[in-house]
Amino acid sequence: MRGETGRANLFTRRAFIVGGAQALLTAGLAGRLYQLQVVESERYTVLADENRINMQLLPPARGRIFDRFGRILAENRLNYRLVVVPEAALDLDAALSKIAALVTIEDHDRERVLREARRKEVFVPIMVRENLTWEEVSQIEVNAPDLPGVMIDVGRRRLYAFGADTVHIVGYVGAVTESELTDDPLLSLPDFRIGKNGAEKTLETSLRGEAGARQVEVNAYGRVIRELGRRAGRPGDDHMLTVDLGLQQYVAARFGDESGSAVVLDIHSGEILALASLPSYDPNMFTAGISNQQWRELISHPRFPLSNKSITGQYSPGSTFKMIVALAALEGGEVSPGHRFYCPGYLELGNRRFRCWRRHGHGHVAMVKGLTQSCDVYFYEVAKRVGIDRIAAMAERFGFGRTLDIELPGEKPGLVPTSDWKLAAIGEPWQGGETLVVGIGQGYLLTTPLQLAVMVARIANGGIAVQPRILGETIRDGQPLAPERPAFPTMGMSPAHLDIVREGMLNVVNDPEGTAYRARIEEPTLAMAGKTGSVQVRRISESEHRSGVVKNEDRPWKERDHALFVAYAPIERPRYGVAVVVEHGGSGGSVAAPIARDILREVQRRDPSARAPLLAPAVRPSESA
């Protein structure tokens, strides 16, 4: 009896424990159900909707870029793209073969489509080709019944109508790389393009605009069922540049087959009217898709078409720098305008002979004659008395040795050497002979064509520290937003000293003994003043000097002198400044000066600064093919 009673009590306890556990589990389950269905019902309703409804970004229309007179330099055109949906095509490989019989499909595009099809869902469209011609679109549409899953999609592509003439100013757009990704979701879109160079890159955020969105209903597999709503984005801002397209094209054409750069600016406002770098290239290659062969040709070209030489090319300024040396001497009082030095054709310092470009010398030379005939010995003597540090200080006042913040990417600062710079950079003390070489614009000294144009502008405008600019108004929603432009400060230069330098520049072109007399502008109202420069790219040995084998035409192209010329016009009321650099062109007076003369004659004929100011187009035209 005791055993039976014990077993009964044990069963009763176990039943109680099991029943209690079940009761607790039931209570917990009921509480959790209450929490999910009552307390957090709103949260889970939202999550369910988010799983069912997707938001898709709609890229905005990219802003356009205009020249100063409203001519379009960069715009958007319809881009017809060939798209295939693997699910609807059934046999994707066979579908691609049918397409290839109608339009050209490269092998690498075919392989890419098959690769993407293996990686993506079967209902996701895959782009086969873009930038189809109207004839290719017609071929596909006519044969559409035999091409299930194949369709024409319409997007946008960037078009540069004057591509090679303006690419170094406008730049181009390209696909977003991994390093360029930011928190902007637009950059993650597969066919989105951003500015890679020029104004396209500088103005990227403004040109990009703001994305729109559409709300679509999807099933559990992500397939779009229907569109529920759409919100339009804001198109990117339009932008005006200060350049005159017609003048820009003229400058490029005037260079012909020469390699180099030219910069034209308004010496009072700093507006850049032309900024040419030659040779050039077509930016539409990048928007349409550049081939490996085209890319190799560009990067291996011996004359570097991808480089914007106006702001990245760093050259010794040669004799165009002699105005800076003269101004440094006049300001410091080391040399008066009438002080003469004798030029026998060379100057000896220690055991080294520094030669003048004229073999038998210029005789007795004062400052104006020294500029007119570009006497090297005269400026050796002046530089020796002024010293490198005071020359450098004057150069920096005229914009050398630093970037000028032109609003385009990649600008280089050049180099203005000093005694401290050499000690820090090279670890050697400055030598007296190096001062003489800088006195004629060579040695360590490096400048850009833009800096040379700014130098001549500040000389011509009476010593106003004009800053170059290339961006004009921004146009948002059809309304121009003109940026504030601060007044330029005076440089504190003596008007009398500037007059002496300008007299020398006047004689360079208009005196029969001037180094650019043959390149003068004969119309008195258009006449120019300027300064020639020829820069050695390798040192000529003493034996070569003695033998006379120093002619440019006797050397390989890469060993010939660079030809430079800076000028302003008209003489009576200066308005325009120009700097021309012809790489390995030879003599500045015979090669660069005629190019600058023709440019200054053309810019005065066109007179873009005096015509209507920068104005926004009144209507934004529809973007069509």
Enumerate residues 6+ apart whose C-beta is below 8 A from 155.
78, 79, 81, 130, 191
Active-site entry in 280, 310, 316, 319: 319
Three-state DSSP class for residue 619? coil
In 3D, which of 356, 303, 315, 347 has the Cα closest to residue 540? 356
d(CA 326, CA 610): 33
Active-site residue, 319 included: yes
d(CA 509, CA 567): 9
d(CA 347, CA 488): 41
- Asked if residue 405 lies in contact with residue 466, where contact means CB atoms within 8 angstroms, the answer is no
d(CA 181, CA 189): 11
d(CA 406, CA 399): 12
Phi and psi angles of residue 292, each rounded to the nearest 5 degrees, phi first: -60, -40
DSSP designation for 423:
H
d(CA 101, CA 124): 24
Amino acid at 313: G
Encoding tokens for residue 565? 């010329």
Give alpha helix (H) positions in 59-186: 86-89, 92-100, 107-119, 134-142, 163-170
Radius of gyration of the chain measured on its C-alpha atoms: 35
256: left (phi over 0), alpha (psi -120 to 50) or beta: left
Three-state DSSP class for residue 161? coil
In 3D, which of 483, 471, 478 has the Cα closest to residue 203? 471
d(CA 399, CA 454): 7
Count Cβ neighbours within 10 Å for each residue of 97-113 and write b for 16 or more, e otherwise. eebeebbebeeebbeeb
Amino acid at 508: V
CA distances (Å), origin 470, targets 67, 68, 200, 367? 10, 10, 13, 36
Where does residue 283 rank: exposed (0-12), middle (13-18), buried (19+ CB within 10 A)? buried
- Asked if residue 474 lies in contact with residue 238, where contact means CB atoms within 8 angstroms, the answer is yes
Q: Which residues pair with 276 in a beta bridge?
A: 262
In 3D, which of 577, 569, 582, 521 has the Cα closest to residue 273? 577
d(CA 202, CA 211): 20
- Asked if residue 508 lies in contact with residue 368, where contact means CB atoms within 8 angstroms, the answer is no
Beta strands (DSSP E) in 491-556 are 529-535
What is the set of active-site residues?
319
